[in-house]
């Protein structure tokens, strides 16, 4: 089974890239973030033509997530308990979607787009920390209910957990994504037992998943590692390959994030 996560930054603007990516990388299930459309606007036709099913969750033009699968898509859920809310009316955001893929021998795939946080003194930063805390509770509850659960929490976490996950810590002084509370919130999730499935195969610096459109960050190789696939303990020994597809960040019409791929055998 080959699964991937990708912050697509508008699925409508890049649907051709998505279809090409699925086929080129032989992907069974893909978690998308920042689809930037409502489910009725989702370009499902070319995906169904390629043999995939789609589940999408989007309520506004910014956040919004989806799961695309050719190995089944069951038990689709749009929420987990305790996620804090943002905006008026009270529910205006769609940042999480989960589904069972691969049937009984498969896994529960959760696509999430963690709040950005904006600025350290902005209410959105507190919202982000509370959001991550709710994910931690969900991760802990999942493994408490079944220590052998097969589950992947993946997406754009908007946190760079280590200093070498950004190109220059000096640049990020006073900025979000690298603060200790954010890193503590990320670590609290991994301490439940869910682990970064890519890190063991690609330790160290320079393994980025995001490069800002501005300031030519990609050609300068000035990126951040903020997109993750966190796998439950039962899945960790099954990983046979994992990598970032940097090629998808190249050329005209690229998202500002590259997809991250994990293969289980």
Partner DNA sequence: ATGGTCGAATGTCGA
Give the footprint of DNA on this chain (CB under 7 A).
Answer: 9-10, 12-13, 36-38, 41, 59-63, 115-116, 118, 124, 213-216, 219, 253
Shortest gap between Cβ of 47 and DNA (angstroms)?
16
In the bound state with DNA, the residue whose beta carbon lies nearer, of 192 and 255, is: 255
CA distance 57 to 11: 12
* 243 touches 261 (CB < 8 A): yes
In the bound state with DNA, the residue whose beta carbon lies nearer, of 141 and 216, is: 216
Shortest gap between Cβ of 48 and DNA (angstroms)?
20
In the bound state with DNA, the residue whose beta carbon lies nearer, of 26 and 215, is: 215
- For residues 22-51, one letter each, b for 16 or more C-beta atoms within 10 angstroms of the residue's C-beta and e for the rest, the string is beebebbbbbbbbbbbebeebbbeebeeee
The residue among 116, 241, 135 whose CA lies nearest residue 186 is: 135
In the bound state with DNA, the residue whose beta carbon lies nearer, of 170 and 251, is: 251
Half-sphere exposure of 104 (CA within 13 A, CB side): 0
In the bound state with DNA, the residue whose beta carbon lies nearer, of 138 and 217, is: 217
Shortest gap between Cβ of 129 and DNA (angstroms)?
15
Write the burial class of residue 130 (CB in 10 Å: 0-12 exposed, 13-18 middle, 19+ buried).
middle
CA distance 139 to 149: 10
Shortest gap between Cβ of 159 and DNA (angstroms)?
12
Shortest gap between Cβ of 110 and DNA (angstroms)?
19
CA distance 137 to 80: 9
* 102 touches 111 (CB < 8 A): no
In the bound state with DNA, the residue whose beta carbon lies nearer, of 175 and 202, is: 175
Pure H helices in 53-116: none
In the bound state with DNA, the residue whose beta carbon lies nearer, of 36 and 136, is: 36
Shortest gap between Cβ of 203 and DNA (angstroms)?
26
Shortest gap between Cβ of 222 and DNA (angstroms)?
11
Task: Give Cβ neighbours of residue 237 (< 8 Å, ≥ 6 apart).
Answer: none
CA distance 246 to 45: 27
């Amino acid at each position: 089974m080959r699964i991937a996560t990708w912050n697509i930054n508008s699925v409508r603007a890049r649907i051709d890239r998505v279809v090409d990516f699925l086929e080129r990388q032989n992907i069974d299930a893909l978690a998308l973030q920042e689809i930037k459309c409502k489910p009725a606007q989702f370009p499902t036709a070319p995906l169904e033509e390629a043999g995939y099913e789609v589940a999408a969750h989007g309520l506004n033009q910014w956040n919004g997530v989806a799961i695309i699968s050719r190995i089944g898509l069951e038990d689709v859920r749009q929420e987990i308990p305790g996620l804090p809310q943002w905006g008026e009316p009270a529910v205006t955001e769609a940042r999480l979607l989960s589904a069972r893929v691969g049937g009984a021998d498969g896994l529960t795939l959760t696509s999430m787009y963690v709040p950005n946080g904006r600025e350290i003194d902005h209410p959105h930063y507190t919202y982000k920390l509370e959001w991550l805390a709710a994910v931690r509770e969900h991760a802990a509850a999942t493994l408490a209910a079944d220590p052998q659960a097969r589950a992947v929490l993946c997406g754009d976490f908007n946190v760079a957990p280590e200093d070498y996950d950004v190109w220059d810590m000096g640049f990020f002084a006073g900025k979000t994504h690298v603060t200790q509370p954010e890193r503590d919130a990320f670590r609290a999730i991994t301490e439940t037992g869910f682990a970064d499935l890519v890190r063991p195969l690609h330790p160290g610096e320079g393994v980025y998943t995001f490069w800002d459109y501005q300031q030519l960050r990609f050609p300068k190789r000035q990126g951040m590692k903020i997109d993750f696939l966190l796998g439950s303990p039962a899945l960790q020994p099954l990983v046979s390959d994992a990598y970032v597809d940097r090629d998808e960040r190249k050329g005209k019409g690229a998202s500002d994030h590259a997809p991250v791929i994990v293969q289980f055998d």
